[in-house]
């Protein structure tokens, strides 16, 4: 993964070549090259898709709910241990 400044510098250099006007490109060709340039830049970043992000948020919410339930159960058991007398030992 490139550091952010290096990535921006590389994107800037490539964009400069596209925009310099020395070789006029048809609109479709320009759009295709610009899209490829952006995809190349994004591939060098540590990004996830929206779908992956949403699925991980669901897993996190489910994990938090389970953790809260376990914490409540532990608190209940701890309270019960404190209030109940210890069984006699022989």
Domain count, the chain: 2
- Rounded Cα distance, 67 and 60, in Å: 10
Could you tell me the pTM of the whole model? 0.47
Question: Is there a contact between 24 and 68 (Cβ–Cβ < 8 Å)?
Answer: no
Residues 63 and 39 in one domain: no
DSSP 44: T
Residues 37 and 61 in one domain: no
Domain membership of residue 76 as a residue range: 48-85
With respect to residue 10, please indicate whether it lies within any of the assigned structural domains. Answer: yes
Residues 39 and 61 in one domain: no
pLDDT digits (tens, 9 = 90+) for 20-79: 666 666 767 777 877 887 787 777 777 888 999 999 999 999 999 999 999 999 999 999
Q: What pLDDT does 49 receive? A: 86
């Amino acid at each position: 993964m490139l550091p952010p400044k290096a990535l921006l510098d590389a994107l800037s250099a490539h964009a400069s070549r596209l925009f310099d006007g020395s070789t006029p490109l048809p609109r479709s060709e320009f759009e295709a090259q610009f899209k490829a340039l952006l995809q190349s830049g994004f591939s060098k970043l540590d990004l996830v898709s929206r779908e992956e992000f949403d699925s991980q948020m669901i897993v996190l919410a489910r994990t938090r709910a389970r953790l809260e339930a376990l914490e409540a159960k532990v608190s209940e058991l701890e309270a019960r241990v404190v209030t109940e007398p210890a069984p006699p030992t022989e």
